[in-house]
Each structure stands twice: as C-alpha cells, then as structure tokens.
Amino acid sequence: MRPSPLFLGLLGMTVIGAVLCALPTATQVYSNSWLLTVGVVLFVIGGWVVSLCLHEFGHAIVAFRGGDHEVAARGYLTLDPRRYTDPVMSILLPLIYLIIGGIPLPGGAVLINHWALRSKPVESLVSFAGPLFNLLIGLVLNVVVLAAPLPAGLQIAFSYLAFLQVFTFFFNILPVPGFDGFGVIAPWLSREAQAVAVRVRPWAPLVLFALIIAVRPVSAVFFTIGRALFGLVGGDMDLASLGDYFFRFWSR
C-alpha cells in the first residue's frame, strides 16, 4: 500500500501549483496574473490526476477488504495510474477533455474480481467507493475555502478543483452501464438485465458524452445540476468560474 513515486510526483506538482497560486496579490489576481494562470493549470491538472488515483484506490481498498485480494497483486493499492487497465482511456483522454472543454469525464479503471467479493452489498459499496472519494475531496476543498483565510488565488484554484470533483461524482453516480452508479445497482438486477448492460456498456458512456458535447440543451441540463450540487455542498460558483477562466486561458 506504499504510494508509488509517480503518485508522489503528481502530488508534488499539485503542491507547486498551490504555492504559485498563493503568490499573486489580490490586485494581480484580477489583472490576469500569468503566475496565477500557471499555478492554476499545475494545481488542477496535478490535483485532477491525484483524484483519479484516489477514486480508483477507493474501489480497490473496499474490494480488498471485501474479499478480492487480487487488487493488491495488481498494484491498485499503490495509487500508481500506470497500473490501470488502460492508462490512455483512463487518464490521458479524460485529462484532454478537461483541458479542452472543462468537462470532468470519469476516468480510471481497475479490474475487480466480483466472484471473490463476499456479498451483494459489498459489490455495491465497491462501486460507490470511487465516486465517494471524489465527493469527499470536493467537500474538503470547500471546507478549506470557507474556513481558512486563504489568498485569493488559492480560493479560486481550490474552488475550481472542488467543482470538478462534485461534477465527477454526479457523472459517476449516474445509473448508466459503464458508470459506477450502474455498478451500485447491478448486483441487484436480474441476470437478463445484467446481460443487456454488458452488451451496451462499451458504447453507452460514449453516447452520453457525445450528447453532452454536441447537444447544447443536454449540456446545459448537466451543468445546471452540477452547479446546484456544488452549491449544496457549500461551493462558491463565482470562484469556480474564475478557476475555469484561468485554467482554460487560451479560450479567453
């Protein structure tokens, strides 16, 4: 369960980004400081990949406690993203979507031996544990913003990453085959329903993502729900919007 050097490096990148975000004064923040831009980019990219690792660690540690000890042999407990079943689809592609469009697609993939799990409730909890980590990260970041006297730049960076975490929780918890939300209910479905889900699983998330990207009303509905959930957990959408502004600096 020792964290991998790669994970520690990503954590270090996140910390460097946070330090850069803390340096600009309040005046510089609102005058498009290049230092804040670099800081937000490093903090969000590093923090986003770290959160993906923690998401998959959540699945793996609950599976390990629930009877699937193969996750340890596969290296999933080391928080190393190279151990995932498809690092390109699990890490790189969601990161590209985040950078280009600001859309936090679910990422990461670990192989769970469901036959080794002790019960249906354990299977459901394994699926729910990943999104729960995202929600907890978002809550912690929001609490820090609300409770600590942070510099303006850090408030912006923390709020944007918190919004991405809450939005990722919302995406992942959808009861769509291929998402963790469906994994929560799958053990309780009939074998026929599970067989149908297996057939549609490869393309169901792609169809949903295509609708969100290509159909503006669908995108508007999803972002409206995401913002509402972010507000419910104490998030400041104005600060998060500023974070998006600095993170996707090329779209200004």
- Quick check: 108 and 76 in contact, CB under 8 A? no
pLDDT of residue 121: 95
- Quick check: 153 and 24 in contact, CB under 8 A? yes
Write down the H helix ranges in the chain. 5-22, 26-29, 34-65, 70-73, 87, 93-101, 120-147, 152-172, 180-185, 191-200, 204-214, 216-232, 237-247
pLDDT of residue 108: 61
Low-confidence residues in the chain, pLDDT < 50: none
Per-residue CA distances from 141 to 17, 71, 161, 163, 221 (Å): 15, 29, 8, 9, 25
Q: In angstroms, what is the C-alpha Rg of the chain?
A: 18
pLDDT of residue 140: 96
The residues carrying an active-site annotation are 56
pLDDT of residue 188: 93
pLDDT of residue 248: 87
How far is residue 249's CA from residue 167's CA, in Å, rounded to a whole number?
21
pLDDT of residue 32: 65
* CA triple 13-103-136, angle to 5 deg: 60
Closest CA to 54 of 165, 196, 193, 195: 165
